Amino acid sequence: MNKSILNEELEKLSPDQKKAAISGKRFLRIVAGAGAGKTTTMAMRIVYLLSKDVNPKDIVAFTFTEKAAQNMKNRIYEKVRQIDPKLCDKLGEMYVGTIHAFCYQLLDDFFGYGNHDVLDENQEIAFLMRHGWGLGLGGGGYLKNCLNFHKSVGVVYDELIDNDKLKDKAIDFHHKFTKYENMLDQEKLLTFGRIINFTVKNIEKRSDP
């Protein structure tokens, strides 16, 4: 690896960016606004880790969108190509993408969900709009009812709320929620919320003694 080029690239960063890029800490929290150079900083951190002989397959980088993931991959590739072209062949072992795609890959590889399709947020709302009457969301303000239900479902998945606790605290919503899950199961559909929720719960089950 060409250390001089690596150092030159690191020196192009601001002091705070460089500090983040070369930190030896396992956990970092970086807060920055739009256009502050987060992608550049994270790309250089990954390049720095590679320079320290971290195996590419041990690196996972999450982005909000697939477009951002592709941008990150391109920047990493260009930096690595300058510093150590031989490493480029191994970059495919590294994961850079959305957390939803990563979790879906785990569900596919280890938990038998490969035959399921994934609904993004807009597709999920469209699905709700088609089936909301059957869930009891009809009446005045149908769109608002569907959006509120979608928001509540997201809270259940994101907070990993226990099914029995949900039934005890909100029996009417629990009834609609159960019916909604059955609809999704029948059509073999996963939503973004379900993907992460199912991944966490399946890994927890596998980890239980």
Task: State the pLDDT at residue 148.
Answer: 96
Q: Which residues contact 53 (CB under 8 A, 6 or more apart)?
A: none
Provide the token pair at 158: 């994101």
Cβ(199)–Cβ(112) under 8 Å? Answer: no
Task: State the pLDDT at residue 197.
Answer: 96
Between 102 and 3, the higher pLDDT residue: 102
Average pLDDT of the chain? 91
Q: What is the DSSP string of 131-169?
A: HHHHHT--SSSHHHHHHHHHHHHHHHHHTT--HHHHHHH
Task: State the pLDDT at residue 104.
Answer: 95
Whether the per-residue pLDDT at 209 is higher than 70: the answer is no
3-state secondary structure of 5: helix
Q: Which of 77-81, 112-116, 119-123 has the lowest mean pLDDT?
A: 77-81
* Torsion, CA 86, CA 92, CA 95, CA 101, rounded to 10: 160
Q: 154: closest CA among 120, 193, 195, 200? A: 193
Cβ(111)–Cβ(202) under 8 Å? Answer: yes
Condensed to tens digits (0 to 9), the pLDDT of residues 57-89 reads 999 998 888 898 999 899 899 988 888 888 888
Condensed to tens digits (0 to 9), the pLDDT of residues 152-188 reads 999 999 999 999 999 999 999 999 999 999 999 999 9
- Please give the model's pTM, rounded to 2 decimal places: 0.80
Query: Which amino acid appears at position 70 of this protein?
Result: Q
Strands 95-98 and 117-119: unpaired
Cβ(76)–Cβ(47) under 8 Å? Answer: yes
Write the DSSP symbol of residue 35.
T
Task: State the pLDDT at residue 27.
Answer: 80
Spatial separation of the C-alpha atoms in residues 194 and 209, rounded to whole Å: 25
Whether the per-residue pLDDT at 2 is higher than 80: the answer is no
Spatial separation of the C-alpha atoms in residues 205 and 69, rounded to whole Å: 30
Condensed to tens digits (0 to 9), the pLDDT of residues 8-60 reads 999 999 999 999 999 988 888 888 887 888 888 988 999 999 988 899 999 99
Cβ(66)–Cβ(97) under 8 Å? Answer: yes
- Scored b (16 or more CB within 10 A) or e, 182-191 reads ebbeeeebbb
Task: State the pLDDT at residue 140.
Answer: 83
Contacts 24+ apart (CB under 8 A), 104-111: 104/190, 104/195, 106/199, 106/203, 107/190, 107/195, 107/198, 107/199, 107/202, 110/202, 110/206, 111/198, 111/199, 111/202
3-state secondary structure of 177: helix
